[in-house]
């Protein structure tokens, strides 16, 4: 899981460096997702392992199917809040759009096998060859968390992706 997480981080960093996304992002592998962002200039993207399961392919071989949440977080400065204490819909739209860009980028067949860990391969949710528990909720799972806007003054959204790694005994 750690190797695939790091490969997803590297893949997202390569996309960011190529100007694929509408916003600059800072990506890292993480487990603690409850941290409040302190810096309003950073768009934090965290790659978090969610679940993993083995799917037997033949005698002595199997796929390790693993899902990951790619969490996008952006803390808003006080100056971005309107008179009612909220964030305008158009400002939130920018980050929901970023979630879609990340989802589309990772789903692009050119990015299915990360350069930094070629044993891993992106799983399409309709392949039928992977564990259904792993592929059940792929895509944008949470476009935004309302409570995070009021509690932390931050946008939080989540894209779920899955990868398989073929292994043998």
pTM above the 0.75 mark?
yes
Interacting residues of 23 by C-beta distance below 8 A, sequence separation 6+: 43, 94, 95, 98
pLDDT tens sequence for the chain (169 residues): 999 999 999 999 999 999 999 999 999 998 876 666 777 888 999 999 999 988 777 888 888 899 999 999 999 988 888 888 788 888 899 999 999 999 999 999 999 999 999 999 999 866 566 667 777 789 999 999 988 888 888 899 999 999 999 887 7
> By the 8 A CB rule, do 143 and 95 touch?
no
2-168 is classed in which CATH architecture?
A: 2-Layer Sandwich (3.30)
């Amino acid at each position: 899981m750690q190797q695939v997480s790091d490969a997803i981080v590297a893949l997202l960093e390569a996309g960011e460096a190529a100007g694929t996304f509408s916003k600059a992002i800072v990506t890292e592998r993480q487990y603690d997702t409850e941290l409040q962002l302190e810096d309003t200039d950073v768009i934090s993207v965290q790659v978090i392992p969610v679940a993993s399961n083995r799917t037997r392919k033949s005698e002595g071989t199997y796929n390790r199917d693993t899902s990951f949440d790619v969490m996008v977080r952006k803390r808003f400065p006080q100056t971005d809040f309107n008179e009612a204490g909220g964030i305008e819909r158009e400002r939130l739209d920018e980050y929901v759009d970023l979630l879609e860009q990340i989802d589309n980028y990772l789903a692009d067949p050119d990015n299915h096998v990360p350069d930094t860990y070629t044993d891993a391969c992106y799983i399409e949710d309709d392949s039928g060859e992977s564990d259904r528990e792993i592929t059940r909720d792929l895509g944008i799972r949470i476009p935004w968390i309302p409570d995070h806007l009021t509690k932390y003054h931050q946008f939080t959204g989540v894209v779920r992706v899955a990868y398989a790694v073929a292994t043998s005994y």
